[in-house]
C-alpha cells in the first residue's frame, strides 16, 4: 500500500524567495512519484514525475524535485517564487500498476 | 487536441435524487478514474476502470457507481444523493504501455461542483 504526507497545509513565501513544499511517502514497492498543481477553479496539471530514472527531476515553470529514498521524501522546490505560482500543490504516489494516492495538498501563497 | 471533459460543470440537486456526472475523454486511454476533492482531504479515489466493462472500487465508493460501456466514457452515478456528497468531482484518465503496464501520469478534467441540498 502507498501513502503520502504533505507537511504544511499552507505555505507563504515572498516573491523572489525560495519555494519548498515537503512530501514524504510510504510505499511497499519502488514508488512512482508525482507533483500536480491546481489553479483556482481548474483541474490538476502535472508539474513533474519520478519514475526510477534520474533522482533529480525537472518540471514545468521552473520547479524541480529530488527523490531521496533514504528519507522517503520527494520535496518540490523553485529557486524564485513568482506571483503566478500561487496555487494548490499535490504530491501523489503509485506502486506502478495501481491508481495514484494523493496527499492532502499544500496551498502556496506568494506575497508581493 | 485530445482532451477530457466533464458535464455538467455545476449541479445543484436534492437529497435522495439520482444524479449522473459525465466524463468523456478523447485520449483513447484505457484507464479512467473518479475522485472527489474536499477541503482538508485532498483527492480521494471513488471508482476506477482499466478498460471496457472493468470497474473497481476506490477508497470512498459507498453511494456511488460507475459503468464502462466504451473507451471514451465513464459516468459516475450517485444512486441517492446525500448532503455528505456535496463536493467537487474530478475525472482523470491515463494510458497503458505496450507491455500492459499502467502509465501513471493522469490527465484531469476541469471538475464538476455538486451541491446536495
Residue B90 and residue B34 in contact, taking contact as beta carbons nearer than 8 Å? yes
Residue B45 sits at the chain A interface (C-beta within 8 Å):
yes
Mean pLDDT of chain B: 92
Average of per-residue pLDDT across A46-62: 89
Q: Which residues of chain A neighbour B90 with C-beta distances below 8 Å?
A: 43-44
pLDDT at A95: 79
Q: How far is CA B30 from CA A22, A80, A112, B21, in A?
A: 32, 39, 44, 19
- The proportion of chain B whose per-residue pLDDT surpasses 70, expressed as a percent, equals 93
| Chain A closest-CA separation from residue B13 CA (Å) | 20
pLDDT higher than 90, residue A27: no
Residue B51 sits at the chain A interface (C-beta within 8 Å):
no
Q: Are strands B10-13 and B112-116 parallel, antiparallel or unpaired?
A: parallel
B45: β partners: B35
- Cα separation, A89 vs B74, whole angstroms: 26
Which residue of chain B is at minimal alpha-carbon distance from A95?
A: B104
pLDDT higher than 60, residue A53: yes
B43/A51 CB distance under 8 A: no
Average of per-residue pLDDT across B86-115: 84
pLDDT higher than 90, residue B88: yes
pLDDT higher than 60, residue B83: yes
- The proportion of chain A whose per-residue pLDDT surpasses 70, expressed as a percent, equals 99
Residue A20 and residue A77 in contact, taking contact as beta carbons nearer than 8 Å? yes
Of A36, A99, A104, the CB nearest to B48: A99
Residue B89 sits at the chain A interface (C-beta within 8 Å):
no
pLDDT higher than 60, residue B102: no
pLDDT at A85: 97
A97/B90 CB distance under 8 A: no
Amino acid at each position: 500500500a502507498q501513502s503520502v504526507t504533505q507537511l504544511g497545509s499552507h505555505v507563504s513565501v515572498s516573491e523572489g524567495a525560495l519555494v519548498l513544499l515537503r512530501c514524504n511517502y510510504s510505499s511497499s514497492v519502488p514508488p512512482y512519484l508525482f507533483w500536480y498543481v491546481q489553479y483556482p477553479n481548474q483541474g490538476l496539471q502535472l508539474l513533474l514525475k519520478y519514475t526510477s530514472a534520474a533522482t533529480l527531476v525537472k518540471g514545468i515553470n521552473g520547479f524541480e524535485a529530488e527523490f531521496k529514498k533514504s528519507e522517503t521524501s520527494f520535496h518540490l522546490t523553485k529557486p524564485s517564487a513568482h506571483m503566478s505560482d500561487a496555487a494548490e500543490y499535490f504530491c501523489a504516489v503509485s506502486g506502478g500498476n495501481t491508481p495514484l494516492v494523493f496527499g492532502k495538498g499544500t496551498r502556496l501563497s506568494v506575497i508581493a | 487536441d485530445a482532451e477530457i471533459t466533464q458535464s455538467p460543470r455545476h449541479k445543484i440537486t436534492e437529497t435522495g435524487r439520482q444524479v449522473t456526472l459525465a466524463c468523456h475523454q478523447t485520449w483513447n486511454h484505457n484507464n479512467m478514474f473518479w475522485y472527489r476533492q474536499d477541503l482538508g482531504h485532498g483527492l480521494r479515489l471513488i471508482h476506477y476502470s482499466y478498460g471496457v466493462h472493468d470497474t473497481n472500487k476506490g477508497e470512498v465508493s459507498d453511494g456511488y457507481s460507475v459503468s464502462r460501456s466504451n473507451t471514451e466514457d465513464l459516468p459516475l452515478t450517485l444512486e441517492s444523493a446525500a448532503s455528505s456528497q456535496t463536493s467537487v468531482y474530478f475525472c482523470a484518465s491515463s494510458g497503458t504501455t505496450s507491455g500492459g503496464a499502467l502509465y501513471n501520469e493522469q490527465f484531469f478534467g476541469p471538475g464538476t461542483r455538486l451541491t446536495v441540498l
